Structure 1
Amino acid sequence: MRLFIFFLALFVAQCHGRSSMTQSLDGTWVGKETEYWYEFPVTVPGGVYTDLMNVGIFEDVFYGYNDNSSRWAGQINWTYALNFTVDEGLLDRDHVNIVFEGVDTFATIVINNVTVGETSNMFVRYVFDVKPILKAEGNNTIKVFFQSPIERALNLNNKQLEKYVIPWQCPPDEYRGECHINMIRKMQASFSWDWGPAFPSMGLWKPVFLEAYDETRIRHIVTRVSNSEDGESWVVSVDTYFALNEKKRVEGSLNVKINIDFESISKNVEVNETVNTNGELVKSASLVVKKQLVHLWWPNGYGSQPLYEVEVTFASAQASDDVLSKKVKIGFRTVELVQETLDTGATFYFKINGEPIFAKGSNEIPINVLPELGQDRQTIRHLLQSAKDVNMNMLRVWGGGVYESDYFYEVADQLGIMIWQDFMFACSLYPATEEFLSNVVEEVNHNVKRLLHHPSVVVYSGNNENEGVLADNWYGTQDNYDQYKKDYVALYITTVRSELDRISGGQAVFISSSPTNGNLTEKEGWVGSSPGNQYWGDVHFYNYILDPWDSSTYPIPRFCSEYGYQSLPFEDAWMTATNNVSDLQINSKFMDWRQHHPEGNGEMALLIAENLAMPDSSSANYTSAFIYLSEVYTAQAIKVETEHYRRYRSYLTDDGRGKTMGALYWQLNDVWVAPTWSSIDYTGRWKMLHYFAKDFFSHVIVTGHINGARELQIYTVNDNLSPVEDVSVLVRLYKYNSPDFRPVYENRISLNLEAGSSQLIQTIQTDTFLAEQNCDKNSCFFHYVIHKNASLTDTVAISPENYVFPGKLKNSDLALANVQISDVKKSGTKTFVVTVTTDNIALFVWLDSHNVRGTFSENGFLLTQSNRTVTFKSNDDVTLEALKNALSVTHLKDPKYA
């Protein structure tokens, strides 16, 4: 009978439409400098920098020095206003709220001259009751008074100084940033970072709308998927969170349904809930799904990513025609962070669906430093698809940015990109006042409820590097260590972790910081004696002194979640930020302005010179050569480092380091055109590093390095969950100057590749071996590839080609090859075949399509044959002739760089 009444109520509601209403307030508002006269049209969702660009007050703030000339926008107060009429029937509902999905950051909301609320956190949704204030007929007004976040941060810091200082106070001068960002709950990078400008934005960066309902609305669906006790089924726990009402009670019938391939499984439950101790109206229910009815969600490279729709529908007992529904998509998978005790330390790796997964990927910084522009779906799709296309299976959403848009996580679900989700705290200590912690509880509450159902989100981290800030005395923190540690635990453990555990039922994987020593950190009271040591947890590693192409430079950790080197984007990207070619000279005022990393340009020059020969600085092509060589050195350095980590997935050193199971390089994307660590520049172009990632993250690789004893050690790595049998590694030795392209040595090693394993397959005494082949470290190099043996004569490459340079290239006998694009053909919609030819071996061959945007199947490669064919996929429709005219090619010994 209850089920009949429920569906009768649903039918009535669909016929008569008494259910809740919404009225969007997005669109054109009026903006004003609060203390001055100037008014201008603004857009919601949006922000003051974007709005001032749209009306021509600012030129493109990402161009030239405009980040500096526009700086005043963050230093004054702004008002956004809207006149509107209320939709007919909206005020007939019992409850009418105004909802701000995202306010950046400090604002007072006034409607019809009545203050309805204030905001202080850009990461939460604000809901204010406005029914008594709105007029059913005639004009209504909204005014949002924004206060400068710079001013508020300064005021809060001054108040904090009455007790004690909380570092860091201000960024280094080279950041050209603002101070006290750690005092406020705003994108930490909006006050500048070493890869980005200071844009202390304000605005309504997400939608604004009115909502009206009689009894309640559905705010969140929070799901958890776990194994049943007998292991034969999945248990899908569903928590439905309702909007509050004046009775603080919700009554009715709730139908919870999951749509699977050929049927639906549903349950109808009676709702009679009052507000819990956390001020929430929530009803929990669960569904049991036989495992054979659904398919597992897997990370990219391990299987498919099926998603299943969960729908909850609520019929109110108080108003039988008030029916609400909400849907989310889930995946069936399990996540475990494995920290098994070793003789020294412990492991640190992820199991998905019970299988060990080597995490391969990068760190994602904000999609855009202007948060409203970070909602752009095309940019999001491009970045995540680009990650998938180069064999990444994990991205870390870094803690100095924002909790990304719903669409970001939806696409990650679809593509199998696991998300390591930092909470938004980075490189600082933070207050632990009652007011601050209360603000953080709301932040964690809102975002965990928003994200928990996504199968892509596999781990939450309390912060970025803040344990290291305290433990390693970054800012003189030892002077007040006990207080800072107390604040640290209060924030990340008592507050962040507790709220995460409460909402997730303790099922979410949590680490307190990154880097952290995992279980050891917890035993040491949440601040380890040496965060990021190689025997526990994850590490961050940066090197700006030692040879970046020497694998002995690098640690041997359990998991490396940050590592990287700076490079310069190519000229086409730079020319979107300046119209003056002389600005691209490495020592120019403009280049210095864009370089926020202290001593960054000098470090880059030294690291390039470690292995590569630079042309004379007076050469006409010096700037072009420097840019190209910066890309070469970075791509090769990250390749060497990543393969180093992958080699150690199955090995321990004599002192107990190794069993490495993760490599996330810094960083995926950019927020402007500048020298940075990114593999995709601000214009969306793949840098050489991103092309290299496709190879060094390939599921099957052969990799080698020369150790301190001058032994060449050759390894295979197989990340597949099953062995690959009957393969051979073809090892060749080439002379750099080899116009006939014939190797001076060739050998084939037959073997089987073990599942989920790295294997040392050969050790060669390098210098002795080279001498036996009439070579030395400067005249020859090693080259290898894995083949699947279909027959004695028929082989198919199942790994990327790889190589080892026995000596530094700057001292080697490199050939002056004549590399040309010999042919371009169209092979399909937006797809072209490009043939490159050479008269000698050429290194780091780089193809560029310049104004024709798209990606090549491979780039930055070694040309060890007379020709090579690659494909090019254009972003837009383009003629064959246009592509031919756009294409260019260069390489390491290009005569123009001599």
Structure 2
Amino acid sequence: MKLKTTTGTQAQSTQVKEHSSLDGKWSLRNSDGSVAGSGSVPGCVHSALQQLGYIQDPYFRFNDVAYRWIAFDNWTYTTTFNTSEQLRSKQKVVLVLDGVDTVASVQLNGFTLGGTDNMFRSYAFSVRPLLKEAENVLSISLASPVLYASQRRKAHSAYPVPPECPPDVQNGQCHVNFIRKEQSSFSWDWGPSFPTLGLWRGVHLEAFDVLQLIQVSSVPLFGTSSITTSHVHIRLLDGLVSVSIPELFSDQTYQSGAVGGSTPVHSQGPFGLGGFFILCSFFVHGGFYTLWSLYLVQVYFRTVELVQEPVPGSPGLSFFFRINSKPVFLKGSNWIPAHAFQDQVTPDILLNLLHSAADANMNALRVWGGGVYEQDQFYDLCDHMGIMVWQDFMFACAMYPTEADFIQTVRSEVIQQVQRLKSHPSIIIWSGNNENEAALATNWFDIPESHRATYVKDYVTLYVENIRALVQQEDPSRPFLVSSPTNGAESEREGWVASNPYDPHFGDTHFYSYEDDCWDWSTFPRTRFASEFGFQSWPSFSTLKTVSVDDDWSYDSNFSSHRQHHEHGNQQMLRQAALHFHLPNSTDALKRFTHTLYMTQVMQAQCVKAQTEFYRRSQTEIIDGKGRTMGALYWQLNDIWPAPSWSSIEFGGKWKMLHYFAQDFFAAVLPVGFEDDGTLLIYAVSDLSPDLTLRAVVRVQLSTKPATTSESLAVVVLKQEVAALLAGCGRCTRLSCLLTFHLEDGTGVQRGPSNYHFLCSPKDAEGLRKANITAKVQEDESGFSVTLRSDAVAPFVWLDVGNIAGRFSSNGFLMVSADRTVGFTPWRPTSVSQLSTSLSVTSLRDVY
């Protein structure tokens, strides 16, 4: 099946069901009643306790540890509601819980309806006989997720299911793999341990008269006047919709409103738009049917194929996506939960993060398997923005049990989530888990060889015999991968667990190396598809200030150590930075701290730039049997709290230097320069027409002063000895010069961003002096702008306006000309005066 439907607008709806929301304020108390008050539904206990004043901001300083008691207690949500006679008169009334986090007992008017054990499922209970006109009491009692997970682990006595606990540096909780909830909520190497409890999605009653439901969806119109599908015949008659079910000898006509025919529309990104669909469902009772709902929805067209086929000159298989019959290089990142408390992920947060991805020229995001299946709006926005989604199922970095009840709840989870999400054309692939094939194959958990077969059997049972089988049944239109990274078809051939899931000749790879020089492209794997790679950095000082005090503002403070959840992460950042830069050495402690934050962002941006450009230029090459890279998704897009991480966007939405760099290294047309044995090579990388004619314009730039005229060499994109370039300049050496370059088309118009290549490490550059940069903030009809003037070449010029939320048009750039103007878009009202007062400008030479 190649056709997908997205969200649409309702044209006409004839309802025979009653819907009564129970969202709003509920009473909340802990197990002994010592903590009580009200809490919002949807919501969670942590958010409620903060609003009630029992706790401070959970993200402040060390509160993730101080508030552990919340997840060790049991909590009960209670509400009282009335019901109308019309609702109670229906044949069926169902209580629907759209999302319970996680293990709960549900009672209505003193009667136990049942239990829940899966955050990712909805639950429905038949309640009509229990309902009264007034004073119905609904109670949902939530068990401690930490204690529940521990109890499940103890009950699984036959053999351990690793890992037992997270590393000590994460300050987390144990046995998260035994509970079907957000895996990262027990801690991760970029996030805190907040094992949440609550009703994280809505609660409502549905009432209807029905014996059987026939649902017809995705019925294409395409300008035709008649469609027959699923034993239902639909005819369009001058503004009316006639619906016939021949088997029931029934024919009825409804007002169709705007329903009818095909309407030309346009879309962004890779999804072609065209026409409308009818979406309708019917209730059948007593041989008659009633139309429940009739909707008009806008549709997108796209086909998706995951191509794994022999590659000439290589012993492996290709791995790339063909969208609408066109091979597409996936450019993007990995998505983690946007907040530890899902009720605080607002539409504005989602919109800002996804706009940020699109504005950085990303066309794809991978929804990582240790978080949550995102809310509907996330996928709606991806549909609209043309952002392709690699969708993991929520299993990550662990083995999992395979008892019958665990398998059964997973099966319900998979069916519900696939049915909910499969109408979104943005989703191009399902993936069973994050890194669990690699964990087995490379024995992360020190499983004895004699026991390995047991874990492989569990792996196949869960991901292949259940999840994969259900996905292929529910949605055969998309490819399914059992894991990421994986060798794909080769892993399947080897019994689903390959001997080396990181083999660059197959599938996708995850690659992290913090000790190797990240400027050295030869250390990167020439893989078919890079689905994870990255380097850490710290967020900006303005972001950290919101969760810390002045005693914390040191790189070696207890706070800095506590926030770092990756073993030796703070030291790794400095070691990597020191390979090419002088480390900050100010005698002022606060200045040294803020400069160190800046330096980690410079290091991260340069490292990910080098690796991404390597992958982009490798898409057409096969070298030693490796290459044809067709995707670069760096780890990670967003942050879950203010802390060091691999993200390019800080918690709160502020762009790190890496994200500004991504605007360029993901550009549709990009010049990539690198050295190989003393030879400079410049590649023209293009996502556009293959017959685009480009040439490279290379400038040999003295690092001692800004250029007013250029000493340049215009060359066709090819390779050139660095020594020859320097000789042509006459007064340049590797230590005194750098290279800048861009691409021009046949008319001399620059295509894509400019780029640069350092001929030596900046710490070794001769004459790189501290630049005197002045800045002037202005406002006109087009918005705010900052005009900079520098008396020297200035690498990594960073503009910061503190806690004024917004985004610059460019940042972290190499300033080689005397003047540069950048725009600033505020997210809230501000002024020239406020921006001028808050603005700081930092460049590389300022920090030592």
Q: What's the TM-score, normalizing by structure 1?
A: 0.87
| Mapped contact 1:514–1:538 kept (Cα < 8 A) | yes
Matches within 5 A, 1:517-556: 517-556=487-526
1:801 counterpart SS class: strand
The residue aligned with 1:598 is 567
1:804 aligned to 2:804?
Answer: no
1:576 counterpart SS class: helix
Q: Which amino acid in the other structure matches residue 824 of structure 2?
A: F
Query: Alpha-carbon deviations, 1:247-301, whole Å to 9, x = none?
Result: xxxxx968599x9xxx99988452879xxxxxxxxxxxxxxx9999767866x3x
1:436 counterpart SS class: helix
The residue aligned with 2:630 is 661
Q: Which amino acid in the other structure matches residue 76 of structure 1?
A: D
**1:452 aligned residue (399, 422, 428):** 422
Cα 1:604/1:272, change in 2 over 3 Å: farther
- Partner Cα separation in structure 1 for residue 217 and residue 168 of structure 2: 44
- Partner Cα separation in structure 1 for residue 330 and residue 412 of structure 2: 31
Query: Alpha-carbon deviations, 1:767-793, whole Å to 9, x = none?
Result: 454355332222111110112343xxx
2:518 counterpart SS class: coil
**1:778 aligned residue (711, 717, 735):** 735
1:893 counterpart SS class: helix
The residue aligned with 2:122 is 125
| Mapped contact 2:264–2:275 kept (Cα < 8 A) | no
2:301 counterpart SS class: coil
2:614 counterpart SS class: helix
The residue aligned with 2:171 is 176
The residue aligned with 2:70 is 73
Matches within 5 A, 1:492-571: 492-504=463-475, 506-571=476-541
1:748 aligned to 2:727?
Answer: no
2:101 counterpart SS class: coil
**1:717 aligned residue (672, 685, 688):** 685
- Partner Cα separation in structure 2 for residue 887 and residue 57 of structure 1: 37
Q: Which amino acid in the other structure matches residue 381 of structure 1?
A: L
2:845 counterpart SS class: coil
Cα 1:323/1:295, change in 2 over 3 Å: closer
Cα 1:264/1:392, change in 2 over 3 Å: farther
1:677 aligned to 2:646?
Answer: yes
CA drift at 1:889: 1.1
* Larger deviation, residues 767-776 vs 102-111: 767-776
2:148 counterpart SS class: helix
Cα 1:292/1:44, change in 2 over 3 Å: closer
Unaligned runs of 5+ in 2: 1-9, 249-258
Matches within 5 A, 1:757-836: 761-767=717-723, 769-770=725-726, 773=729, 774-790=731-747, 795-828=748-781, 831-836=783-788
Matches within 5 A, 1:306-317: 308=276, 310-314=278-282, 316=284
| Mapped contact 1:222–1:238 kept (Cα < 8 A) | no
The number of residues matched between the two structures is 822
The residue aligned with 1:339 is 308
The residue aligned with 2:834 is 882
- Partner Cα separation in structure 2 for residue 237 and residue 501 of structure 1: 25
Cα 1:656/1:393, change in 2 over 3 Å: same
- Partner Cα separation in structure 1 for residue 267 and residue 239 of structure 2: 19
1:421 counterpart SS class: strand
Matches within 5 A, 1:629-648: 629-648=599-618
Unaligned runs of 5+ in 1: 1-9, 240-251, 274-288, 751-760
The residue aligned with 1:464 is 434
The residue aligned with 2:160 is 165
- Partner Cα separation in structure 1 for residue 22 and residue 214 of structure 2: 19
| Mapped contact 1:221–1:328 kept (Cα < 8 A) | no
**1:191 aligned residue (186, 193, 208):** 186
Q: Which amino acid in the other structure matches residue 280 of structure 2?
A: V
Q: Which gives a bigger RCO, structure 1 or 2 (Cα 8 Å, sep 6+)?
A: 2
Query: Alpha-carbon deviations, 1:95-141, whole Å to 9, x = none?
Result: 001100000000000000000010000001100001111112x2110
1:486 aligned to 2:457?
Answer: yes
- Partner Cα separation in structure 1 for residue 673 and residue 495 of structure 2: 41
* Larger deviation, residues 615-624 vs 63-72: 615-624
| Mapped contact 1:350–1:356 kept (Cα < 8 A) | yes
CA drift at 1:508: 1.7
CA drift at 1:497: 0.7
Cα 1:225/1:89, change in 2 over 3 Å: closer
Cα 1:320/1:495, change in 2 over 3 Å: closer
CA drift at 1:828: 3.0
Matches within 5 A, 1:125-274: 125-136=122-133, 138-160=134-156, 162-215=157-210, 223=218, 268=243, 270=245
Query: Alpha-carbon deviations, 1:562-593, whole Å to 9, x = none?
Result: 0010001110000111132x413111000000
**1:373 aligned residue (337, 344, 348):** 344
The residue aligned with 1:732 is 699
* Larger deviation, residues 511-520 vs 815-824: 815-824
- Partner Cα separation in structure 1 for residue 637 and residue 355 of structure 2: 12
- Partner Cα separation in structure 2 for residue 710 and residue 442 of structure 1: 59
1:855 counterpart SS class: strand
- Partner Cα separation in structure 2 for residue 220 and residue 428 of structure 1: 38
Q: What's the TM-score, normalizing by structure 2?
A: 0.92
- Partner Cα separation in structure 2 for residue 533 and residue 326 of structure 1: 48
- Partner Cα separation in structure 2 for residue 812 and residue 850 of structure 1: 31
Percent identity for Structure 1 against Structure 2: 38
Q: Which amino acid in the other structure matches residue 782 of structure 1?
A: L
| Mapped contact 1:256–1:310 kept (Cα < 8 A) | no
| Mapped contact 1:221–1:449 kept (Cα < 8 A) | no
- Partner Cα separation in structure 1 for residue 214 and residue 641 of structure 2: 36
CA drift at 1:721: 4.1
- Partner Cα separation in structure 2 for residue 210 and residue 111 of structure 1: 12
Query: Alpha-carbon deviations, 1:520-572, whole Å to 9, x = none?
Result: 01111110110021110000000110111221121110000000100011100
CA drift at 1:215: 0.7
CA drift at 1:86: 1.2
CA drift at 1:617: 6.3
1:196 counterpart SS class: coil
Query: Alpha-carbon deviations, 1:324-359, whole Å to 9, x = none?
Result: 345655311100111121231011111110001000
Cα 1:344/1:352, change in 2 over 3 Å: same
**1:845 aligned residue (797, 814, 834):** 797
The CA RMSD over aligned residues, in Å, is: 2.9
Q: Which amino acid in the other structure matches residue 182 of structure 1?
A: N
- Partner Cα separation in structure 2 for residue 154 and residue 222 of structure 1: 43
Cα 1:219/1:321, change in 2 over 3 Å: closer
Matches within 5 A, 1:268-347: 268=243, 270=245, 300=269, 308=276, 310-314=278-282, 316=284, 318=286, 323-325=292-294, 329-342=298-311, 343-347=314-318
Q: Which amino acid in the other structure matches residue 714 of structure 1?
A: I
